[in-house]
Structure 1
């Protein structure tokens, strides 16, 4: 009977070692530095490979979700169909979000991609709402845990490029025309939406004379 007990003990030890060994492996595959980079409302999810990944042998899977905020005011009465969100940590402040908006959606174009980025501009077009993105990696039949971004709100976090400037000399004067960057969104008539529809832009133009007096 002793050999059977020894064999059973070996199986239990082997099983526990295998289970314990999978967690460090999954953690080493987990994508790093997962975050949104946004310029002129072009919202790109970016990440770095996990510690165990080198080369192009791994693929990545991307999901996103939106959380619609119901009420940004300090209200102790929960609006209908909403749940308390944790985005407001100030005393007496409560932020409410709608039920049913917390489901993760697959980004089909980035499902099994080998790239280290994913364009989520169309999926994050409601620029005043907060979003989350997450990524997981797969390599040699092993899958990592999900790695999630901080909360991302395009309205607050996008970076607006400076305007394109055209200068024309007209009758001894300089005509300066500024063109604000276009947004990635379009009207129904396929015309780009100007950024002035979202922001009240103010420009300051400075003229510097670099000529040297002799």
Structure 2
């Protein structure tokens, strides 16, 4: 039989271990990795479920504000959502302003604390997609036509605003000689129409392009290759 003092020690150890190993319900519900993901000023708040959440048994509540404001604003379309993202493009449309977003979860009558993003400024942090590229053959030359990425629909309503209105953009065009497997940069500049001349006949080339932002020292991913046969 276990001595009385050993039994009491066992009970104390058991309860201390249990308390230390159990987190409050609201803490285990708290959303994880709350952050903005932005492409071409399309600003999406994303998060992951708390450690205690599985499946679709929980709902989420989203708020946002401009840095320096005290009052948080509810995002009505994401108030009680079961999704793990929320489109805050319209709410963060002043691209020079710094913003915060935050999310809380609810499940089975319990609510988590709020999880807040780092400070988010669209102008600094949005990622630019590669240019859209079309190629036409003209008398043995290639005419490359480049288009900047599209902005969200909200911006399209305002005087045909382009992403070029917000950044200095430099286009880079590369040509790949398929027979030699050799790549060459043939253009770097602000023009969106580029002519590649003096290509030998009966040859095969692929063309790719990217956008470079000098002020941020940042470049986009490359466009899809467009390949042509020179007759």
TM over 0.5: yes
Shift of 1:3: 28
Output the CA distance in 1 between the equivalents of 2:113 and 2:14.
23
Distance across 1 between alignment mates of 2:5 and 2:172 = 84
**Residues 90 and 154 of structure 2 are in contact (CA less than 8 Å); yes or no, is this contact kept in structure 1?**
no
- List structure 1 runs of 4+ shifted beyond 3 angstroms: 1-23, 185-192
Q: Quick one: distance in 1 between partners of 2:172 and 2:22?
A: 58
In the alignment, structure 2 segments of 5+ residues that lack a partner are 183-231
TM value normalised by structure 2: 0.66
Deviation (angstroms), 1:185: 4.9
SS at match of 1:177: strand
Structure 1 residues 133 and 3: alpha-carbon distance in aligned structure 2, compared to 1, 3 A threshold: farther
How many equivalent pairs are there?
A: 182
Distance 1:3 1:119, change over 3 A: farther
Q: Which has the higher strand share?
A: 2
Higher-RCO chain (CA-CA 8 Å, sequence separation at least 6): 1
Structure 1 residues 61, 17: CA separation in 2 closer, same or farther (over 3 Å shift)? farther
RMSD of aligned Cα (Å): 5.8
> What's the offset of the Cα at 1:18?
14
Q: Deviations over 1:181-202 (max 9, x none)?
A: 0111546856642111111111
Instruction: Report how far residue 102 of structure 1 moved.
Output: 2.6
Unaligned runs of 5+ in 1: 67-98
* Matching residue of 1:146: 114
| Matches of 1:42 and 1:58, distance apart in 2 | 26
> Scaled by the length of structure 1, what TM-score is found?
0.71
